[in-house]
Amino acid sequence: MITNRITASPEELTKKDFVSDQMVKWCPGCGAHGILRAVENVFPKIGYKKENFMFVSGIGCSSRFPYYVNTYGIHGIHGRAAAIATGVKLSNPGLSVWIATGDGDSMAIGGNHFIHIIRRNLDVNILLFNNQIYGLTKGQYSPTTPIGSITKTSPHGTIEHPFVTAGLVLGAQGTFFARVLDNNISMMTEVMHEAARHDGTSVVEILQNCVIFADKTHRQITDKEVRDDYQLHLRHGHRMCYGKNNEKGIQLKGTKLQGVVVGLNGVTIDDILIHDQHEKNPGLHRMLGKMGPPDLPVALGVIRSAEFETYDDMVEIQIESVRETSKIKCVDDLLNSGETFEVE
């Protein structure tokens, strides 16, 4: 049983309650605009008091986010949003803490904090803007840039193997992982709401377009011609079907996932896997998180949402239990504890 310590809003909130008066300075056409829209949509629905929302960020285009939404916010330093957020949440578990970060911020310079916040399962929500490029420094490759890409620092093509975000998150024992596209605001809104409801670290990877330095970087799955065959929209309790007419599905064959067509080669609808996002064993979630073109579609939606104790809750519980048994109730007690002696 995990205790949610965030106060509910006494009044109905609307989008207006979260719109900032600051000029939004992202490039026209940047995927971040859609993410901001989704956040403005979902925050009033979550139902917490508006003062209890808090945005934390590091550095990068994504990290300007706190200035553009009307909540408490801190724009930190490069890679450290997860560490700052840890202090915010532990100090005040009554806050709904959101991290806006990018692929470089969270998986290069901030990689250490990223895996550790996930491992601890601190109850925060991470919006990870993955545009596979360094935008703010103008176009160098990032840890998720596909191998072979030509960028400002890889004129002959990158020779680094990229991270698959889901693999890193679930490898770090992530309890919630979802993947969405920046052009699907309704799906983002829905998934962010699920992230907010999840107790523990929720990572929402947003496949984002950078119009300037990595335009159409996700086109392998977003282009009109391919998207039906390369997007699998997961829903808990539903079969993993995709394709223009939902005729395709994911089947587990031996230890591998396979894309199959229902009705072909004796495959029936019963052979298609049913998505269980709450399954504690992450095995299948890892496979779903890592699948992608050319053989398989990319899984979108909530891939994993499993309940485990949260770090912030355990911190509170431990303090309460020590308080109950300890004889030391105030600092005067502490100062006079153990070996002391009187001088007359």
| Backbone dihedral angles phi then psi of residue 328, each to the nearest 5 degrees | -90, 110
Beta carbon of residue 127, minimum distance to another protein (angstroms, whole number) = 16
39 lies in the binding site for another protein (CB under 8 A):
no
If binding means CB under 8 A, how many residues of this protein chain bind another protein?
56
- Alpha-carbon distance of 112 to 109, in angstroms, equals 8
Question: Distance between CA atoms of 236 and 150, rounded to whole angstroms?
Answer: 38
C-beta of 84 vs 188, nearer to another protein:
84
Contact call for residue 342 and another protein (CB under 8 A):
yes
Our CB check for another protein shows the closer of 45 and 75 to be 75
List the structure tokens of 80.
Answer: 């450290």
Residue 238 neighbours by CB under 8 Å, 6+ apart: 274, 275
The residue among 82 and 128 lying less far from another protein, judged by its C-beta, is: 82
Find the binding residues for another protein in span 104-163 (CB under 8 A).
112-113, 116
Shortest Å, Cβ 303 to another protein = 25
From candidates 22, 153, 246, 268, binder to another protein by CB under 8 A:
22
Residue 47 burial (CB < 10 Å; 0-12/13-18/19+)? middle
- Distance (Å, whole) CA 42 – CA 34: 12
Write down the least CB distance from residue 91 to another protein, Å. Answer: 4
How far is 11 from 55, CA to CA, in rounded Å?
A: 21
Out of 36, 95, 180, 250, the only residue in the binding site for another protein (CB under 8 A) is 95
Angle between helices 32-46 and 185-197 (to 10 degrees): 50
For position 259 contacting another protein by CB under 8 A, the verdict is: no
Quick count: other Cβ atoms within 10 Å of Cβ 234?
20
Q: Which of 62, 86, 125, 202 binds another protein (CB under 8 A)?
A: 86
> Pick from 31, 34, 73, 104: which binds another protein (CB under 8 A)?
73
Q: Which of 92, 149, 220, 251 binds another protein (CB under 8 A)?
A: 92
* Residue 330 touching another protein (CB under 8 A): yes
Q: Is 246 in the site for another protein (CB under 8 A)?
A: no
- The verdict on 328 binding another protein (CB under 8 A) reads yes
Alpha carbon distance 290, 270 (integer Å): 23
- Give every CB contact of residue 44 below 8 A, 6+ residues apart in sequence: 12, 13, 14, 15, 17, 18
**Bridge partners of 231?**
298
Work out how close the CB of 326 gets to another protein at its nearest, in angstroms, rounded to a whole number: 3
- Judged by the rule CB under 8 A, the positions of this chain that interact with another protein are 22, 50-52, 54-57, 66-67, 70-77, 80, 82-92, 94-95, 112-113, 116, 315, 318-319, 322-323, 326, 328-332, 334-336, 338-344
